[in-house]
Amino acid sequence: MKNNRSARAKKLHYVWIAAALLILFGFSCKGAFGTTYDFMNLKSNIKCIVPLVVLEDGANDTSTIYTNSTSARITINATSTPSTYNYSLNVVNNGANIEEVRLECFGSENVGRVNATMLLHDNVTSRTQITISGGTVNQTNEYYNLTGNATIHLGIQDLVESEEGTTILHVYLRIKTLNTSTYDRYVITFEFT
């Protein structure tokens, strides 16, 4: 009889636990199936601004353009014979203002194996921006004037490798409105394989 009572007490204990769990489950589901009394509708007064200066693939078809046309990767197979790619990347000014642009190197890997000159040009005038020679990266820090509603090109001249491998050059395209101190920087990565 004692075993019968303890078995009965265990069953009653399990019934209470099951009932408590069902009640808790019922209350937790009530919120999920209930009515919504409060809601919030957010509207932004700020619109997405499309940049006035954008990057486009050049005629040499050596570049990959990334998000919002504000970053790019230029991949070129360097050889032991000097090569020139005058139209690696296009820089397009869709605005009316003159923008000053220049290239600024902020990192490099394995530059001792290649020599090259990077410049900005419009088929008439050009300005050298970066040279790689003898394992050293030199930059001129000179601005090139990108007139309103115009396109200029990023060219790579005399690209030659001295040994097999991969060279990476990370640069910013600094874009500054004429006679101002504010600027944008677009990331461009050169990969010479």
Q: Give the whole-angstrom CA distance, residue 179 versus residue 173.
A: 18
Q: What is the pLDDT of residue 11?
A: 80
Has residue 78 got a pLDDT over 90?
yes
Has residue 37 got a pLDDT over 70?
no
Rounded mean pLDDT of 73-94?
A: 96
Rounded mean pLDDT of 42-52?
A: 76
Q: Give the whole-angstrom CA distance, residue 65 versus residue 82.
A: 25
Rounded mean pLDDT of 6-17?
A: 80
Rounded mean pLDDT of 91-111?
A: 97
Has residue 7 got a pLDDT over 90?
no
Q: What is the pLDDT of residue 25?
A: 72
Has residue 180 got a pLDDT over 80?
yes
In our burial notation (b when 16+ CB lie closer than 10 A, e otherwise), range 85-95 reads bbbbbbbbbee
Q: What is the pLDDT of residue 24?
A: 76
Q: pLDDT tens for residues 18-31?
A: 888 878 777 666 55
Residue carrying the six token digits 């005399």: 158
Q: What percent of the chain has pLDDT over 70?
A: 88
Has residue 111 got a pLDDT over 90?
yes
Its pTM stands at: 0.74
Burial of 44 (0-12, 13-18, 19+ CB in 10 A): exposed
Q: What is the mean pLDDT of the chain?
A: 89
Query: Residue 43, SS3?
Result: coil
Has residue 32 got a pLDDT over 90?
no
What domains, with CATH codes, occur in the chain?
53-192 (2.60.40)
Rounded mean pLDDT of 153-166?
A: 97
Q: What is the dihedral of CA 141, 142, 147, 149, to 10 degrees?
A: -30
Residue 20, both tokens: 């408590």
